[in-house]
Structure formats: structure tokens, C-alpha cells
Chains A and B, each alone.
Chain A
Amino acid sequence: MEVGLFIPCYMDALEPEVGISTLKLLERFDVNVTYPFDQTCCGQPMTNTGCHKEAEETEKLFVKNFSSFDYIVMPSGSCTNQVRHHFDAIQQTDEVLHVRKNTYDLVEFLHDILKVASFPWANFSHKVAIHYNCNALRGLRHASMSERREPFFSKPKDLLSKVKGIEFVELERPDECCGFGGTFSIFEEGVSAKMGQDKVMDQHRSGAEYVVSADSSCLMHQKGCAMRMGVDLKYAHIAQILNGDLS
């Protein structure tokens, strides 16, 4: 199985350790992981701002980098959502359709494709609150959502449950958006920060030691809020826990 690894631009620049955990985690399974060297971004900042034309060349580059792989895997629900649901600026060739269809977020890939049964190397004896990125939650269906009448399910929780020692705590508003929202966090700073602060307080009240998510972007925003507020909470990407890099 040939897997192309995509590391989101912000993660490459700011949180390389999450990329490293992801790569090493994938290598533990029977997959051949390649990191195409000419990769940049999924185009989400432009597309979400309405600038689809401006995203066209970025989308083309992405397809050029990844069309030869069986699967494209990335540790980001938000970028996966972009590739799967919003790669519309370019002509929909077979290559493009192949890329859209076979792009998976790390959680989905482990849960749905590899169907990983255990993470024997991982141990994490902490109280954990799960944060669902909205694109992953409602766009990729990582988990059931509180708005809908549907049976409970959670792919991140399924995976984390296989790690020794983890204790889950619940939030009052389990799937409320934290206010990152990509460029929303920059252009609508006041509302974004307020949402982030409220999220941090909900996490704090839950008794969590760690907040774990499949998306570093939300975590970067929440962590920034928590640090400024002086709230003692740690934030980790799910890849770091599943690969046993934190304990």
C-alpha cells in the first residue's frame, strides 16, 4: 500500500513534532509512506475566503504531488475536508477524482482503512477531553453530533480507548466550535478569541489535563488562548498519543 503523506502548511512551520509522530505512527503499520517534497498547502485559506480561482494552482500542485498514491493521508480533518469536498476550482480529471476519493484524515485512515486494533506501545495516564474540529466532525463524520438524533459514535475516541491509562472527561458543550475557523481567527479576531476563551473554560471546568484533537489548527488557537488566560491545560494531537510520544 503506497501512502502519500501530506503535512499541512501550518503544521510544517509550527508543529513539526506532530508531523513526525504521524509519519512514525504510519510506518508502524504495513504501509509504504512517502512525503512528496514539493508539497505546500491544500488551498483552504483561499477557498474558504471565496477565492476559488486563486486556489486553482495550489490544487493542481496538490494533485500533481499525490495522484500516484493509493491513499493520501494527513493529520488534519480540516485539510482532508478541503481536498475531499472543495477541490472544485480545477477540472475534474480522473487524477483529481482519484485524489479526492482517496484522501483520508489520519483518524479515518487508522479507523476505517487499517482498522487498527491496538497501540501496544502507547500509554497515556491522563484525564483527556476530546476536541472535535468542526470540519472533521460534521464534514468527515469523525463522530456523532449533538444536533442530530443519531447513535453515539466517535472514531477518535475509539482509537484513544485502545491506549492504556486514558481517562475521558466530558465537556458541557462537546461539539461547539472553538472559533479558530481558519482565516476567521485573523479577520474576525474579537469573536474568534471570545469563542476560544469560552472553549478553554469549558475544558478547564471538565477537569481535563490534556485536550486531544485530530487537528492542530484548533489546538493552536485554544492553546494560545489558554496561555494568555493563564489556564493550566496541555494540548496534544492524537498522533502524538497514539504513537506513544507523550506520556
Chain B
Amino acid sequence: MSDLQQEIQPKGAKIKGNKPVNQLEAANRFIAASAHQQMHDQRLWDLRKKRDAQMHLIPEWEELRDLASDIKSHTLDHLADYLEEFERNAKANGVHVHWAKDAQESNQIIAGILKEHDAKNLVKSKSMLGEECLLRQHLEEEGVTVIETDLGERIQQLDKEDPSHVVVPAVHKSRTDVSKVFVKTLNAEEGNNDVHYLATTQRETTRPYILNADAGMTGANFLVAETGAVVVCTNEGNADLSANTPPLHIVTVGIEKIIPKMEHLAVFIRLLSRSALGSPITQYTSYFSGPRKGGEMHVVLVDNGRSTRLASHKFKAGLKCIRCGACMNTCPVFRRSGGLSYGSVYAGPIGLILSPTYNVHKYRNLPFASTLNGSCTNVCPVKINLHEQIFAWRETLAEEKELSLSKRIIMTSLGKLFAHPKAYRMAVQTGDKLLSYLPHFMVYNQLNTWGRQRDIPTPPKETFHSWYAKNYMKKGKADE
């Protein structure tokens, strides 16, 4: 058996109430499962490569990114107007429109609609907003059976795990891991790791739920204000089944997903799937402009912290996100850490900037899970300044006293040392003294974290400073 078959899939971050998530601890466990880590890194890097290939096929790629970014910025500046325009047009199409200020209100509205229709079985298409609002958990407490219809999301539901990626929710699992979950939950054949078998097993067990469902739920990739329509992009067609088979279609969507006109939709459709999976377009790009004959359609427009973010000058641009996951695929930290290590709904670079807006204390460590390398900013199809916001979050965390004590102490003393040349020179001595200085300078804290997996540089005989003093001061070249 290969390593990947034998190795147990690492679990995500340990969540302890409101305590800061220790992303690094979970990332280290993920890295320790080396077969899984390598598979994860390679799968996502392959997506990044496919995305690059698509990019090179579109000569106007950078112009498209500019255009998409400008459309989103404009829309955010006039968000209320476009949302009202959407509401008017959707209502005219016969759609019921609801407004939810937070997750709780959204969940209550949806539970209310289901109750009104005496709907006990709900099939849903993957929705990050649903995850954000803990919708499934809420509805299950209300006695509603909720079945995920997206393959990856269904795997995660059956394994009682969160999605680890916004586009490919089970990307951290091997075929063997999926097989094990299906053996336990779907009565699948033991040891059968064939992808077609596994996909068919899932489909055949999920189809009856779809056929018997009282209601279907989808998210939305875009809302078009001009037409009052909802656009959903999937590769499995499961959103279409969820929307069209049962008589009731409920859409939940974050208010930032709106765009003004149909002509703008073309820009985003060209960027979305290319950025996400490196395919020109999703297999299904479905446009729901009203209820089907004899059916009912509801759209729940959810705020859940978005208007607060809109008012924040530093972090507003995060609302431009179209959830393509390109920033995750390119992120070298995400690829090594696995999405579940972030312990938040949104992982990777976008998670680093969104998560603290939901709970600054709980997610205070996340903005440090980055090298600020800037790759995310440059793949982002809507040009979110991701790494600059990660950088800005660190300052905000320091201002809000959410920096860990060790970081605070080290940085305060380093700041003082670097501000005083004489004290600094005393600290940086050559030879033996440099070695004793190293633990403070490079390693800072009690554990020698540099040296655990890396050799420590051999201290030179003298510093540049003393070399210069010896060789140039005599020549009168130094300034003192």
C-alpha cells in the first residue's frame, strides 16, 4: 500500500471556544502527514498551473482584472442603490426577497420559509455563506434534514468536517480517505478506491434525497441588479437539480455578490473559472430569473458583518472577493498547511483578511500565517490587495492589543536596540559573543526554532562594521 493509503488524514485546528486558533499547530500536524501534505500541495499547484495556462490564452487578461476590480469598487460605492434595484426587479419577476442583518436572522428567515411550506427535507448546493452562518446545524436543530449535493461538500458533511477550500472542499482528502468515509456512512465497498465508483456511490445515494426533497437551496455567485436574477456556477449541475427539482427554491447570498448589469456578468464569468480551476468556464452557469411554473423562489440577502467591513477603509476591498480560491491555490503557506488548519470558514489569504472581521480575538493569529510574498494579490482576478491587507491587519492587531505577549516584548526590545547604535553595536560582537547574541537576535525566544530544521550560519570572524572600521577608517573614508 502506498503512503497515502496508509497515512491517516490529519484533522484541522482544535477549536476551543473563543480562544485564539493555533493555526501553526494544526499546520505542523498536516505537514507531518507528509503524503497528504505533498498531495495537497501538488493538487493545488496543478490548479495554479492550469490557471496560468488559461491566463496566457487571454491577451487582455490584465485589462479584464482591472475592469472586474473597477466594477466591484463602483458597485461597493453604490451598494445600497444596486441592492434596492435588484429587489425591485426580482420582486417584479415574482421572487420573494428577504433581508437578513446577520447569520441568526438569515437562519430564522430560512427556517420560517421552510416551516410555512411544511418542508422537512432540504437539498442544498455548496454555499460558503451557509457555512459562515452555520445554517445546516441550525436547520437540523429545527428538525429539517439537510443534504449537501456537491460531491466534495457531501464528503465533508458525511465526515463531519468543514470544507477546507472554497472551491474544492475535500481537496485535503485522498481517494482512500473518501472511500473510508463512504464505507462508514454510505455502506460502500471496503477498499474500493476507484474514483468513478466513489462518485457513483455518492450520486446514487444522494439522488433520492433530491427527488424527494421539499425544498432546494443554492448560494449565488452573482446577483444582477438590472434583471433581478441570480447566477450560480457549478461543475456538477447539482445546483440546478437543487433549484429545479423541488417546488421551493431558496437562495442565500451575501450582499456583496451584486453586480450592476448583464454586460458586467460577462467579465466575471470569464475570470471566475479560469482563476479557480483553470477551466474556461464552469460546466453549468445557470441563470435564475424567477420561480419556475407552480414553484416559489426566495432570495435572502445576508449582511452578516459586510456593511461593517464596507465602512472600514482598510479592509473594504475584501468585499470584492468572488470566491474563486485562486489566492489559496497560489499561497505557499496554504498549500503546506491545509485549509482546515485555519480553523475558520475562509482559509488561505482571503481567510486571513476576512476571519478577523468576524472575531478579532479568535482569529488574531491568522494574519501571521503569511510570508507577505504577495503572490495572492497578483493572482486575484478582482485585484484585492490581499497581502497589503494581511500586513495592515498585523498593525490593527497590535493597536487592538491582540498581539501575543512574546511578539510584543520582542518587538519592543528590538525597536529600542535598533534605535540606539551604541547599544546595538555592543550587542553585535564578533566571535564568541556573536554566538551568545544569536539566540536573541535570530531565535528571540526560549526555543531554538531556527535550528530545529535548519543549520545555523557560522558566525564570521568579524562584522562588516568592524571590517570597515579597520580597512576604511584609516583611509579617512568613514564619516567619523
Interface residues of A in 32-62 (CB under 8 A from B): 34-41, 43, 45-46, 48-58, 60-61
Inter-chain CA distance A102–B421, complex, in Å, is: 23
**Whole-angstrom CA separation of A11 from B464 in the bound complex:** 8
In the bound complex, residues from chain A placing their C-beta under 8 Å from that of B56 are 149
In the assembled complex, the Cα of A9 lies from the Cα of B442 at a distance in Å of: 11
Are A20's CB and B464's CB within 8 A?
yes
Residue pair A195, B332 in contact (C-beta under 8 Å): yes
Asked if B99 CB lies within 8 Å of chain A CBs, one says no
Interface centre among B372, B398, B443 (most CB of A within 10 A): B372
Q: Which residue of A lies closest to B367 (CB)?
A: A50
**Cβ A58 vs Cβ B368 within 8 A:** no
A57 touches B444 (CB 8 A): no
CA of A182 to CA of B396, assembled, Å: 19
Known: A35-B478, A58-B418, A147-B330. A50 touches B396 (CB 8 A): yes
Which of A92-100, A121-129, A158-166, A184-192 binds B?
A184-192
Which of A37, A181, A189, A227 is close to B478, meaning CB atoms less than 8 Å apart? A37
Which B434-468 residues have C-beta < 8 A from chain A?
Answer: 434, 437, 441-445, 449-450, 452-457, 459-460, 462-465, 467-468
Picked from A135, A181, A193, the residue with its CB within 8 Å of the CB of B454 is A193
Contacting pair A49 B398 (CB below 8 A): yes
Write the nearest CB–CB distance from B386 to chain A, whole angstroms.
12
Q: Is there a chain B Cβ closer than 8 Å to A225's Cβ?
A: yes
Assess whether B454 is in contact with A196, with CB atoms less than 8 Å apart: yes
Asked if B374 and A134 sit within 8 Å, CB to CB, the answer is: yes
Interface segment among A108-116, A204-212, A216-224, A237-245: the answer is A216-224
- A145 in contact (CB, < 8 A): yes
Considering the chains assembled together, what is the distance between the CA atoms of A16 and B463 in angstroms? 6
Cβ of A28 under 8 Å from chain B: no
Which B residues lie within 8 Å of A181 (CB)?
370-373
In the complex, what distance in Å separates the CA atom of A149 from the CA atom of B403? 38
Contact flag A9-B454 (CB < 8 Å), given A50-B394, A134-B373? no
Using A51-B411, A179-B332, A186-B449 as known contacts, say yes or no to A191 and B337 having CB atoms under 8 A apart.
yes
Query: Are B332 and A186 within 8 A (Cβ)?
Result: no
Cα-based distance from A7 to B469 in the complex (angstroms): 14
**B residues near A7, Cβ cutoff 8 Å:** 464-465
Output the least CB separation between B31 and chain A (Å).
5
- Known A-B contacts A9-B418, A16-B462, A35-B478; the reply to A185 vs B378 at CB < 8 A is no
Is residue A180 contacting chain B, with contact meaning CB distance below 8 A?
A: yes
- In the complex, how many angstroms separate the beta carbon of A233 from the nearest chain B beta carbon? 13
A57 touching B371 by the CB < 8 A rule? no
**Prevailing SS type, chain A contact patch:** helix
Chain B CB count within 10 A is highest, among A16, A41, A57, A184, for A16
User: In whole Å, how far is B214's beta carbon from the nearest beta carbon of chain A?
Assistant: 45
Instruction: Say yes or no: B397 contacts A228, CB within 8 Å.
Output: no
| A194 contacts B by Cβ under 8 Å | yes
Q: Find chain A residues with CB under 8 A from B472 CB.
A: 35
Task: Check B369 against A149 for contact (C-beta < 8 Å).
Answer: no
In the bound complex, do residue A43 and residue B480 qualify as a contact, i.e. CB atoms below 8 Å apart? no
Q: List residues 123-146 of chain A with CB under 8 A from any CB of chain B.
A: 134-135, 137-139, 145-146
Is residue A170 within 8 Å, beta carbon to beta carbon, of the partner chain? no
User: Cβ of B437: which chain A residues have Cβ within 8 Å of it?
Assistant: 13
| Minimal beta-carbon separation of B182 from chain A (angstroms) | 31
A137 to B375 CA separation, bound complex (whole angstroms) = 10
For B372, give its contact among A46, A55, A60, A134 (CB under 8 Å): A134
B457 and A220 contact, CB distance less than 8 A:
yes
Candidates A36, A38, A50; contact of B403 at CB < 8 Å: A50
- Check A13/B370 contact, CB under 8 A, given A40-B418, A225-B453, A228-B453: no
Q: Which 10 interchain pairs have the tightest Cβ spacing?
A: A181-B371, A50-B394, A224-B454, A57-B419, A54-B415, A134-B373, A19-B464, A177-B373, A147-B378, A193-B453
B residues engaging A (CB < 8 A)?
Answer: 24, 27-28, 31, 37, 41, 45, 52, 55-56, 58-59, 61-62, 330, 332-333, 336-337, 367-375, 377-379, 391, 393-398, 403, 407-408, 411-412, 414-421, 424, 428, 434, 437, 441-445, 449-450, 452-457, 459-460, 462-465, 467-469, 472, 477-480
Interface residues of chain A, those whose CB is within 8 Å of chain B, are: 7, 9-17, 19-20, 23, 34-41, 43, 45-46, 48-58, 60-61, 134-135, 137-139, 145-150, 173, 175-177, 179-198, 220-221, 223-225, 227-228
Q: List 9 A-B contacts (CB under 8 A).
A: A12-B464, A40-B419, A58-B419, A148-B378, A179-B332, A181-B373, A186-B443, A191-B31, A228-B455
